Amino acid sequence: MKSNLSSPFKPKSVKDYKPQDLTIYTLRAGFKKKGKDLLIIVFDKAVPVANAYSQTSMPSAPIIWDKKNNNSFCKVLIVNSGNANAHTGIRGINQIEKYTKVASKIFQCKKSEILVSSTGVIGEELDSAKIIKKLNCISKNSLKSVKDAAKAIMTTDTFSKVEVVKFRYKSKQIIIYGFAKGSGMIAPNMGTMLAYIFIEAPLKKKDLKNMLMKHIDSTFNSISVDGDTSTSDTIMLFSTGLKNPKIIMNNNLLNKISARVNDIMLSLSKQIVSDGEGISKLIEVTVSNAKNKTQASNVAFSIAESTLVKTAIAGEDANWGRVVMAIGKADKHIDQDKIIIKFGNSVVAKKGARYQKIDLRKLNHYMKNKIVKINVNLGIGKYTKRVWSSDLTHRYININADYRS
């Protein structure tokens, strides 16, 4: 895999945090040609966790294994990058059985308290011996922070994706943090993305699940780079509040935590799409006044995932005709005479025709921005959907043509 240039949205600095209730190890197991490619997180004791996985009909071995074996508590999380362990059949499952058996002995936990994830090339067998070797030689020299954890799970990513939120509640500080990876094969119902979020407060499993399901549609399920749904995408939400036993949970605090979890999920999902393979511009599509949620979502993603729209944005061309095309193919029950299309604040189409008062100079200047907003008012209902996508450049082709080389 050849190295790729950094995203223009790469932050000048990445947030970082050293957690209280867990230990982070990052190691080089040899799945990638260079750099750390193995992350092991060990919790002080088994903690509650909620999970959401890829909606693909061809899930990876780690997803199959997690769903079958985990009991909604986690003592150890093991993530490797460089090999997806996907479409590897029973042999892929057996490799997980081998290294989780060793991990359960080393960390003195049940196998049902271990969660695993893998990301990388699909179809290549994973060698469990590489993970077992590193499990057997973990040392304090391997101790790392959240930023290091994010870096260890990167594949074609050009920057680490981390978010940390701190707030006070009745004199107690509560910290919520998370990290993620993802750059290509990103589509609704999550794409090749891995995301792990940790709440330093004592929440129950049902509260974690409710939060995850409440916010996932407007965050991780609202981004797309290439419309390809991965075999491996995973998000996990942990409660690690062992050092905060005096925090008494109530509905008010739960709502505050839920709002911050949403902030983190939105930040991480937008960081992922901002690092879309070969990206030069971030596209934000908002569809308003749709008949129902399904229509709003279908139209928004039809625009965001249109190859013609994405290449037009890459070329700084306000080709609103391509947006019209994307709307039309998404839903038959749309009245084109009611639609208003905007690029930024500039109306480009209205009442079924080109808007006659377009300020082309203003519009052309707007298209040079790194973030391009497309707003579509369908004029037939009250529902809204906002999604984020990336443009499509020559570099996207180069990255994926060279992926296995």
Instruction: Catalogue the active-site residues.
Output: 192
Burial bucket for residue 142 (CB in 10 Å: 0-12, 13-18, 19+): middle
Query: Rounded to an integer, what is the distance from CA 190 to the centroid of its chain?
Result: 6
| Single-letter code of the amino acid located at 134 | K
Nearest to 226 by CA among 404, 2, 396, 403: 396
Phi, psi (deg, nearest 5) at residue 172:
-100, 135
Query: Whose structure tokens read 């799970």?
Result: 153
Distance CA 318, CA 361 (A): 11
Query: Whose structure tokens read 């769903």?
Result: 67
